[in-house]
Structure 1
């Protein structure tokens, strides 16, 4: 936590529920080998050598599992700064540890907070990363290059001390997969336009049935192999096709090019999938497109709302959900209908999040009742007429 003495150092230190970040105005030196950020004691009024603040520059500070994967940085005072490399632009220091690699967290914890934090600099800022993941940089290179005109510094591997005129340590976070316009001049509309420019996406608006003669709306079904997969995808596809949809399926993974995912998603008018990271790709949908979230068994309605329903609305998308019945869950083949896991999911919630995740997210697949689900796809068609 922030100490009293630290308050005199920083022009703006923010200790928020999800993230800590600090805006340090004034010359600052960064040493990767000791994980320290140094400032001149004469200016701060704090004796040289004292650690005034420590920070883990990743947004989920309340989540111990995420924070275990994030390096701690110390902000210290020194009599004078020793600089091997003097940079002329500000820096943003952030961690690629935590839950990076999960597509939802890549956007919610990193890409959107980085967009919020860095956009003010209009590219004139250098990204300094700790806990680097080279594959992450490679995957998001297109976005990173649009936010900063400078090489990314992998600070943990640097032996030289880098000095900057100012620095932000950590990232600004508003809420899951979103931007709070009351806290920023930016919006999710701005972010989605930024993504369209970054990946040269052609469609700004979804199809309006009736305006485009005989054109079939495209339905993208996000599939998964392990947990939360559709076990009757062929039946679902046939039923959707019979309603007039041009059906596309996609199973993105770590090696899938983000540009190709963006292009595929942007070409579609409806995106559907079981609650999970793949739904994050709705960021690439055209405006007025429809997101259909299949909510599995487990009383996770609040999570479904927070992760995808509210963000979809903030993105100017239309949202529908479909809550499965016990007979559509693979759990019914493992447990009897009167088992607490089936009839009383809240009893599992009392055992904590790990139990909920293990039972309802990691070990559940879905066999959609296509007759019961059909009205949801008809409702989406109706919305595309409006």
Structure 2
């Protein structure tokens, strides 16, 4: 453990074989991979190390570094890949976690307890030699909030399987949107820093006029308590929020529920692959609201005719991804057109099987 070396018998492969693996699922992201602890895999020549601990079950080695702390990445690069990898062992597996983050382990302790019957091994505090009958080093990313089902053993690991696992793990009782309360509950993800709703009070009034019971989630502390917050989301028929990590909480929505993504003006990188594409694979309905230039706080700064609002592609063309992100994610707030946004919510109501008056349509 002290050097994070994995030794295996030379009889299995050519002698003097050495491979270095950084056990984090986002292998294509060179920026984050540089911060992941490398694992050295080599043959045991001339003799294997002496075992301090001998285990009956295999090990899975993975990193809790990278982008953990962001729920979207925690599901994509840790929890979903770990579910795929460990499920075949029926909890008879040991987790060895490099780049150990206590907050991450505590946050998802229920998930780890269901995937493994053993205590997690932290090599930062356990420097002894452990021997296992086998080991998997690293996790595999499939796609954002999704699983490539045909690539899995027996073709039976799917996002519905994962969502069932999550419901059971957190004891979430509502499976279908048609089992949710009436009036339907709408959860509004309210950001406090960037991409704020500047007319949030008016939005909530309009939502309530349509017949929603509105819950507002704005506290990072509240949303970080997965055990409690998952139950809140599971009671909702509709979730609304601006593009951002908080929308990954759709994992906890009941089947048939609606996730409404408000797309920021000028920033379209991976917006579809992050949320619009995964929704149907999870048994959810997806709606989106496209901002217009006059709904952006940038109009107050630059004027409505400025290229920042009328030619948003020019920002990325001149400054690339970082410039577009800074302008449209970090510096932009929203003042939604309630007449247009109302139409989106009316459609959401119809999706969840709630009748509305003709005057409201």
Q: Name the SS for the 2:205 alignment partner.
A: helix
Distance 2:219 2:34 in 1: 27
Contact 2:176–2:256, Cα closer than 8 Å, also in 1: yes
**Corresponding residue for residue 56 of structure 1:** 22
CA change 1:368–1:202 in 2 (3 A) is: same
Change in CA separation of 1:254 and 1:128 when aligned onto 2, cut-off 3 Å: farther
Equivalences for residues 69-80 of structure 1 within 5 A: 69-79=35-45, 80=47
Deviation at 1:64, TM superposition (A): 2.7
What CA deviation, in whole Å up to 9, does each residue of 1:46-65 have, x standing for no partner? Answer: 13xx5x21111112222233
The structure 1 residue matched to 2:13, chosen from 41, 44, 57, is 44
- Counterpart of 1:356? 324
Equivalent residue number for residue 149 of structure 1: 117
Whether 1:246 and 2:213 are equivalent positions in the alignment is: yes
Match of 1:93 in 2: 61
Unaligned runs of at least 5 residues, structure 2: 355-361
Q: 2:176 aligns with which of 205, 214, 231?
A: 205
TM-score, structure 1 as length reference: 0.86
More helix by share: 2
Q: Alpha-carbon deviation of 1:299?
A: 4.1
In 1, Cα distance between the equivalents of 2:127 and 2:296? 54
The answer as to whether partners of 2:267 and 2:329 remain within 8 angstroms in 1 is: no
Task: Tell me, yes or no, if structure 1 residue 35 matches structure 2 residue 4.
Answer: yes
Alpha-carbon distance in structure 1 between the residues aligned to 2:289 and 2:32: 30
Of the three residues 277, 280, 301, the one matched with 1:334 is 301
1:169 alignment partner in structure 2: 137
Matching residue within 97, 106, 109 for 2:74: 106
SS across alignment from 1:155: coil
Q: Is the 8 A contact 1:196 1:202 kept in 2?
A: yes
Matching of residue 280 in structure 1 with residue 256 in structure 2:
no
Which of 258, 262, 275 in structure 2 is aligned with 1:294? 262
Displacement of 1:252 in angstroms is 4.7
1:10 maps to: none
Q: Distance in 1 between matches of 2:74 and 2:267?
A: 25
- How far off its partner does 1:94 sit? 0.4
Equivalent pair of 1:208/1:385 in contact (CA under 8 Å): no
Partner SS, residue 156 of structure 1: coil
Query: What is the CA distance between 1:353 and its match in structure 2?
Result: 2.0
Q: Structure 2 residue aligned with 1:66, among 14, 32, 35?
A: 32
Contact 1:218 1:268 (C-alpha < 8 Å) held by counterparts: yes
Cα shift at 1:348: 2.3
Deviates more, 1:149-158 or 1:313-322: 149-158
For 2:260 and 2:97, locate their aligned partners in 1 and report how far apart those are by CA, in whole Å: 36
Q: Report Cα offsets for 1:196-222 as digits up to 9, x if no partner.
A: 11111110000379xx8xx20110001
State the distance in 1 between where 2:220 and 2:107 align.
11
Moved more, 68-77 or 95-104: 68-77
Hey, what's the Cα distance between the residues in 1 that align with 2:265 and 2:178? Answer: 32
- Give, in whole Å, the separation in 2 of the partners of 1:187 and 1:139: 24
Which position in structure 2 is the counterpart of 1:236?
203
Of residues 68-77 and 307-316 in structure 1, the stretch that sits farther from structure 2 once superposed is: 68-77
Of residues 308, 311, 314, the one that matches 1:347 is 314
The DSSP-based 3-state class of the residue aligned with 1:182 is helix
Separation (CA, whole Å) in 2 of partners of 1:111 and 1:61:
16
TM-score (norm 2): 0.92
TM-aligned CA deviation for residue 276 of structure 1:
0.5
CA distance in 2, matches of 1:352, 1:89: 48
Q: Write the mapping of 1:188-199 to structure 2, written as runs, cut at 5 A.
A: 188-199=159-170
